[in-house]
Amino acid sequence: MGEMASMTRLLQTTALSKRFGGLEAVQPVEFRLDQGEIRAIIGPNGAGKTTLVCMISGRVSPTSGQVHFKDRDITRLRAWDRVALGIVYTFQVTSIFRKLTVYENVALAVQRRLMRRALDRLTLREAILSDGVEAALAEVGLGQVGNQLAGLLPYGHQRLLEVAMALALKPEVLILDEPTQGLAPEEIINFCDLIRKISREVTILLIEHNMPVVLELATGITVMDKGAIIAVGTPDEIEADARVQEAYLGL
């Protein structure tokens, strides 16, 4: 991916903060995501990681500050409008439709992408829909289970289905919140391989507690503690940072 790709700023926050009542969940932060990188956000529980990515994805409105995507101010855009721009967020827990088939889950995502304009409703054809579904399922390795009910899939395959649904939306930025939580060791290895493959085309923003996964996957790491960003660097730099080690004491 290269160092050249990492020079192009894709997303940036300016003095972005969130207060819930008397609690400042995220202090005013400057966060940058460059095109082509796998950026991990790490930190202890309650550090503000999920609140930050929820503000980036539009699921939470900031108390102050701005979010810019490709030099456009998107601070006031709704979550779905940001999805249409290419910012797609998957959750800590699976958000699939359990009573639909694997194929139907992904078809819903493809359909939403293809029907962004009124004209698309007139031109949407089953063949176009099918191509999008099959491509997304094949990318995550679920091409053979399209007819199975999603709720009957093993948990690891449900997580892969969620990624397929996200890929069907054609993201430029894919935000993954604790994607390896609940996965077996072999599933984690396969998931890391998948993320590396996806990252050839999509910029990845990752919240992850599993430090071996972070150190293996990330090209850059942002560390949060108590609502603030306390360190930014390469995996080697972060691993050696005394402030990071202090923030993680007892974890």
Closest by CA to 227, choosing from 3, 65, 99, is 65
Dihedral sign of CA atoms 219, 9, 62, 53 in order: negative
Q: Exposed, middle or buried: residue 51 (CB in 10 Å: 0-12, 13-18, 19+)?
A: buried
Q: Is the pLDDT of residue 2 over 80?
A: no
User: Which segments of the chain belong to CATH 3.40.50.300?
Assistant: 1-86+171-251
Closest C-alpha to 16, from 38, 31, 36, 37? 31
How do residues 195-229 score in pLDDT, each as one tens digit? 999 999 999 999 999 999 999 999 999 999 999 99
Of the candidates 63, 70, 65, 57, the residue with the CA atom closest to the CA atom of residue 175: 57
pLDDT of residue 115 exceeding 80, the answer is no
Q: Identify the CATH assignment for 1-86+171-251 out of 3.40.50.1000, 3.30.70.20, 3.40.50.300, 2.60.120.460.
A: 3.40.50.300
What does the pLDDT look like over 52-109, one tens digit per residue?
A: 999 999 999 999 999 999 999 999 999 989 998 999 998 644 578 888 999 999 998 8
Average pLDDT value for residue range 15-42: 96
In the chain the first and final C-alpha atoms are separated, in Å, by 32
